[in-house]
A and B are shown apart, each in its own frame.
Chain A
Amino acid sequence: MSPRESLPGKCQFLLAVALCTAEAFAQTQVAVSERDYFEELPVVLSVSRLAQPLDEAPGAVTVIDREMIRLSGVRDLMDLFRLVPGFQVAKPPSGAGIVTYHGLGESYPRGMQVLLDGRSMYSPFFYGGVNWNLIPVALDDIERIEVVRGSNSASYGANAFLGIANIVTRHASEGHGVTAEVREGNQGVHDRFLRLGGGSATNVRVSALSQQDDGIVTQPDHIGKRLFDARADIRLGLRDELQLQAGTLDVGLQVGTVGKAGDPSRLQQLRHQFVSLGWRRALDEFGELAVRYYRAEESGADAFTWLAGGMTFPIDYGFRSQRDDLEVQHTFRPWPDARLVWGGELRSDIVSGKQFYGTTEPVRLGLGRIFGNLEWRLHPAWVANVGGTIERDSNTGTSAAPRLALNWHVAPGQTLRAGISGAFRSPSLFESRGYGPVVATNGLLLGYYYFQRDKLVPERLISREIGWLGEFRPINLTADLRVFAEQVNGHMATVQTTLTAPYCPTLDPLCAAASSTAPSSYNMQDVSIRGLEYQVRWQPAARTRVILNQAFVRMSQQLRLPDNPLAVVTQIGQSTSEIINMQIQAAASAPTRNLSLMLMQTLPGGLELSATYSSVGALKWTQNDRISGYKRLDWRLAYPFRVGPTRGELAFAVQGDGAKRTEYRSFNVMSTRGYATLRLDY
């Protein structure tokens, strides 16, 4: 008997009366039916922290699995986000890649959170945000990436603001044996990868990666990475498992501009190292207790001497940060038709950097949060998720992010979702306390690298969404649509503000010159983001797969300060053009149209062809420039083979085939990159 027909009459039109729904649920669980054969098993963890099928999660999720990563042919993690609707990706020179969801990108976008096996990659250093060069993972060690399209402060607190990616690496018991990979290409592409894995009760995996390329080849932009990463999964009986991970990533990055005295071309050395210890205990068939501690340290060496006007300015952008984080999470069934996950997290960030805080003394941020999500099956066809986070940090006080979502299985394979959630992004230590005077050896104050004087508060977001997930089995097609209205209040923007006494530069003691300004951040704008995005996955034939992503985004913004640039100039001393530029940039920071189409085809002889076409509309990454939109074709042709017990693959991949394009700024012209990869598994 199918669940809906089995309901007693009094339940027919009832959604939320607990007695009746409990009865209905109990009935659905009693008898075996075709549901047992066709139900989807949980696949995503990242929305609510509960393992849920996509159609019962309280948000939109795009899953990028191992196979998709392999077939995409990408070398850089950030490029995978081109395959997710609503995301923008660019590679600026002299820096990390930038990835944003629904705009609000700048040179250092700060709205997206990335978790790597639960460790926050949101940097405590500099502006915050994610440094995509410093994520210590080899693509081949990734099991899957769950990308939440929307905000998720309700589960992961501050900074899971607009877009969150949860990278899950493979269990050490997977991928036993040896994997070796060699890659060579133009534009300085020169990669090596080696992984060893084995064990039984204790499984260990060790990976080493060396990766190099010339970045944006029109200027010195070389990057070299060396990663050493190990993971051990240790079984302690049927219920318990320990997980140990440790790694070091060293990055050498060419930054600056040839001939520019204040920002000369030079090599910046960055390092991320971490150790993580996790314990999981299965309490029963439903419940779990998980505890994890990690320490992550980042450091950078980047010092040079700036000679100007006969004076010497020693500049040191070196920094060091240390994060300690402890998290406890408990999952259980409070009553038969509900599941609850709840827990808490404590974090300490310690950061130092002379050019960022004006002192070599460490700056500290303490943070504590509690989170929870109740998944309640109100009726066999209705699932409610209610949850949220309350967080307190020593910098900005207490913030809360609630969420409510309702999923309705309208018919088999057809689900509608409605949700509303709150999110917040706390100012980073640098945004709120940054102070960077540029002082010559003779004591002369030239100006400020950054100077935050006013207090910042967390920016807030209210997101409303309607989602539809459709599965059309006879034609092997699934569709995922999200219609959204995201309202950001108090968006923090950095602008040049006029200096006043006693902070005037030595050469302009009255701050009379228009050039006596310093960058500073304000909760300056309210931004409205509306639109729709969808993903369609279709397998028209056994050897053919197609993924289509498209997003339509409309942004508008309003100044929080009196909505009149002249009044703002008077109030906080900014130039009119600065304000106008900032307003224009925010409203144009996501393309109104964005499309990507990926085709995967197995050819005769086992050859695998995959191709991704992207079309990105015009957008402004920065205040002073605009790209007019571009089209890009990436493709890959691979020949998998087998020699005795050794499996291998020879692949050739091309990124940006055809015409030159600009993805970040109009003068950063990118051309075709191609590389060949030989891989052996034995």
Chain B
Amino acid sequence: MTYTWCGRAAAAGETVWLALSDGGGPYAEAAEAARREIQRGGASAEIATWQQFLAPGRAPPPLVIAIGSGAYAGLAESDLRAPLLATLLPRAAFERHAERAGRQGRTATAVYLDQPPARLLDLLRLTLPERRRIGVLYGPESRQWAPALRQASAERGVTLAVAEMAAGAGLFPLLQDLIDGSDMLLAMPDPHVFNSLTVQNILTATYRRRIPLIGFSPAYVKAGALLAVYSTPSQVGAQAGEIARAWLAGRPLPAPQSPREFSIGVNGDVARSLGIAFAPDATEKWIEQLRLKERAP
């Protein structure tokens, strides 16, 4: 598979497809942000579900932005030949179908939802500098992050305490050992480990040990995680839109990338009860510092 498909100048009237996994929700939010960016470049974009775009008799577009893993999977399996830009999906979901998309001679790239490990660890160093033992509970879907997290933690001189849950195995015994050897718990998305049924008990267990949990969505902050770093649908959608705009203007499609813009959510009540004092404008400052670090040569 090659990511350097040559860009080209958009012909007037050409319309990029914004293919949603499903109408509404985060998909619609990401699509609107992408469309705004594309329109800024003078091109137009049409929003519909991926199945609607695959209806017979439609002329192929210059570029398709697949929003969500369902849209990406459906389009990767289809006969559509246009280059594919996937967003609002995790790396694992992209990679599952990237091979098939490539095999059919199509170009595919992505803007992931996953935060890069370096950003995660830099944030933990900024926010909780005195806590140097980071617990990570991997499952079958998140263990792909283990090498990158190990490297990033070694570079920053922090210890990673790791446990891995096998599919279908019990979580609590692992969690007990992990909590004993850590002073914070970093949650990596994996439905085998963190899902709406388990999160309540995991949060309670960490909370009782006064171990902050670092989540990956605003819902975690609301539910009782100390903080979470995440990219909103608008942020990844806009990034995909910028890529599309650049491609229409003749630039090549880039390699799959992490989200550039991100947000940080803090649960002030949890922070106070853990005896952690954050300044009122702390999140803005952290985002600024992380940006500076990431943009440094």
Inter-chain CA distance A472–B26, complex, in Å, is 9
Is A286's CB under 8 angstroms from B201's CB? yes
Residue in A29, A285, A645 whose beta carbon sits within 8 Å of that of B172 in the complex: A285
Is A34's CB under 8 angstroms from B89's CB? yes
Is B26's CB under 8 angstroms from A412's CB? yes
Listed stretches A169-177, A550-558, A613-621; interface member: A169-177
| Residues of A25-61 contacting chain B, CB below 8 A | 28-43, 51, 53
Inter-chain CA distance A439–B175, complex, in Å, is 69
Is B205's CB under 8 angstroms from A238's CB? yes
Q: Chain A's interface: helix, strand, loop or mixed, by majority?
A: loop
A333 within 8 A of B: yes
Note all chain A residues with C-beta closer than 8 A to B223.
Answer: 41-43
- For A474, the closest partner residue in chain B by CB is B29
- For B223, the closest partner residue in chain A by CB is A41
Give the shortest distance, in Å, between B134 (CB) and chain A (any CB).
19
Q: A285-B171, A412-B24, A473-B28 are in contact. Are A36 and B197 (CB under 8 A)?
A: no
Number of interface residues of B (CB under 8 A): 67
A506 within 8 A of B: no
Is B68's CB under 8 angstroms from A2's CB? yes
A1, A40, A235, A472: most-surrounded residue (chain B CB, <10 A) = A1
A471 within 8 A of B: yes
- For B165, the closest partner residue in chain A by CB is A285
Note all chain B residues with C-beta closer than 8 A to A213.
Answer: none
Is A30's CB under 8 angstroms from B191's CB? yes
Note all chain B residues with C-beta closer than 8 A to A286.
Answer: 197-198, 201
Complex interface bits, A621-643 against B, C-beta within 8 A gives 1, otherwise 0:
00000000000000000000010
| Residues of A278-306 contacting chain B, CB below 8 A | 282, 284-286, 288
Inter-chain CA distance A35–B89, complex, in Å, is 9
Is B96's CB under 8 angstroms from A1's CB? yes
Inter-chain CA distance A40–B26, complex, in Å, is 12
Listed stretches B5-13, B155-163, B206-214; interface member: B206-214
A29, A238, A414, A472: most-surrounded residue (chain B CB, <10 A) = A238
Is A333's CB under 8 angstroms from B197's CB? yes
Inter-chain CA distance A411–B21, complex, in Å, is 10
Total A-B Cβ pairs within 8 A: 179
- For A339, the closest partner residue in chain B by CB is B197
Note all chain A residues with C-beta closer than 8 A to B234.
Answer: 474
B69 within 8 A of A: yes
A70 within 8 A of B: no
Listed stretches B123-131, B238-246, B249-257, B267-275; interface member: B267-275
Is B209's CB under 8 angstroms from A238's CB? yes
Give the shortest distance, in Å, between B121 (CB) and chain A (any CB).
19
Note all chain B residues with C-beta closer than 8 A to A645.
Answer: 277
Is A29's CB under 8 angstroms from B191's CB? yes
Is A5's CB under 8 angstroms from B275's CB? no
Is A412's CB under 8 angstroms from B25's CB? yes
Give the shortest distance, in Å, between A326 (CB) and chain B (any CB).
23
B73 within 8 A of A: yes
Complex interface bits, A468-506 against B, C-beta within 8 A gives 1, otherwise 0:
000111100000000000000000000000000000000
Note all chain B residues with C-beta closer than 8 A to A471.
Answer: 25
Is B191's CB under 8 angstroms from A36's CB? yes
| Residues of B25-65 contacting chain A, CB below 8 A | 25-29, 32
A453 within 8 A of B: no
Inter-chain CA distance A146–B192, complex, in Å, is 29
Note all chain B residues with C-beta closer than 8 A to A238.
Answer: 172, 175-176, 179, 205, 208-209
Residue in B23, B71, B190, B198 whose beta carbon sits within 8 Å of that of A32 in the complex: B190
Is B93's CB under 8 angstroms from A41's CB? no
B2 within 8 A of A: no
- For B232, the closest partner residue in chain A by CB is A473
Inter-chain CA distance A570–B201, complex, in Å, is 62
Note all chain B residues with C-beta closer than 8 A to A42.
Answer: 196, 199-200, 223
Is A32's CB under 8 angstroms from B142's CB? yes
Inter-chain CA distance A42–B202, complex, in Å, is 13
B219 within 8 A of A: yes
Note all chain B residues with C-beta closer than 8 A to A33.
Answer: 68-70, 89-90, 93, 191
B194 within 8 A of A: yes
Note all chain A residues with C-beta closer than 8 A to B176.
Answer: 238
Is B201's CB under 8 angstroms from A282's CB? yes
Note all chain A residues with C-beta closer than 8 A to B17.
Answer: none
Complex interface bits, B76-102 against A, C-beta within 8 A gives 1, otherwise 0:
000000000000111011001100000
- For B275, the closest partner residue in chain A by CB is A176
Inter-chain CA distance A629–B216, complex, in Å, is 48
Inter-chain CA distance A176–B273, complex, in Å, is 6
Give the shortest distance, in Å, between B110 (CB) and chain A (any CB).
12
Is B92's CB under 8 angstroms from A174's CB? no
Is B141's CB under 8 angstroms from A32's CB? yes
B116 within 8 A of A: no
A413 within 8 A of B: yes
A selection of 19 A-B contacts at a CB cut-off of 8 Å is: A2-B68, A3-B70, A4-B70, A32-B189, A32-B190, A34-B21, A36-B217, A37-B90, A37-B189, A38-B233, A42-B196, A171-B273, A173-B273, A200-B210, A238-B172, A282-B201, A411-B25, A414-B24, A474-B32
Known: A2-B73, A33-B93, A173-B273. 8 other contacts (CB 8 A): A1-B97, A34-B68, A36-B190, A37-B217, A38-B217, A39-B196, A412-B23, A645-B277
What is A's interface to B at a CB cutoff of 8 Å?
Answer: 1-6, 28-43, 51, 53, 66, 171, 173-177, 200, 235, 238-239, 241, 282, 284-286, 288, 333, 339, 411-414, 471-474, 642, 645
Q: In the A-B complex, list the 6 residue pairs whose CB atoms are closest, starting with the nearest.
A: A2-B70, A412-B25, A413-B25, A285-B198, A32-B141, A36-B189
